[in-house]
Structure 1
């Protein structure tokens, strides 16, 4: 019986794009589900000297050294604490695997083109250049993030140095 339901659901979702929804403070963000490798609890990381505070360090994930970035610190969120809800989203981006620390993961949502609005001219928490748009779901507003772009630039260069260190 369950097989039937799944088939219908998949057929109906072909036009939507799936996003993993995570929270940072009071905001909800969505990233392309295809870039997500796994979601895990926050473990101890190995700190690396002379890195910006938002780069927590690196962790060994089944033999792969994965840099861990705390997005909460990156977005200047006050009072960042690590508790049982704190999760790391492990992302598979082009040639690299990176972990991002967020307050929590709430959903996987499928958004159709009609539900995705263009980015606003200005954004409070992050530069609009990292946003691909806003997902509107009834009362909920998701900030859709181009995670590759957000994690590219100088951080990535920095992380490559960490990896080769």
Structure 2
């Protein structure tokens, strides 16, 4: 009942302001103010205000909103845990073994040809007309190895 009275008072005040604006010969502005002033009384007459006050002051409605918020929080939390379990490529993250190390590769010798085990370009004959490249010393990669060891790789 209080909300309907407040809406009626706001409409009456708006219509009064519109009348003063029309008296000053600002008819377009007065028509716009009249349109705004009729909205609250229209909401009262259609029952929207009563419906809204019934929702706002009803504790079961607020319990329902609380349950919806809890549901949303659970969805968000499970989604965050799911994303954390997945690796960067969207695949499940690999679990560590008992020793704290990652499991061994399925085919550890698969990259052996690229490491020089099965005849690399350095072991083949150079192209005709070119001079063979000088053999690189064994300690050429020692600085790289030191950097890798420093980072634990």
Q: Identify the structure with the greater strand proportion.
A: 1
Which of structures 1 and 2 has the bigger CA Rg?
Answer: 2
TM-score scaled by structure 2?
0.17
Higher helix fraction (1 or 2): 2
Q: What TM-score results when the alignment is normalised by the length of structure 1?
A: 0.16
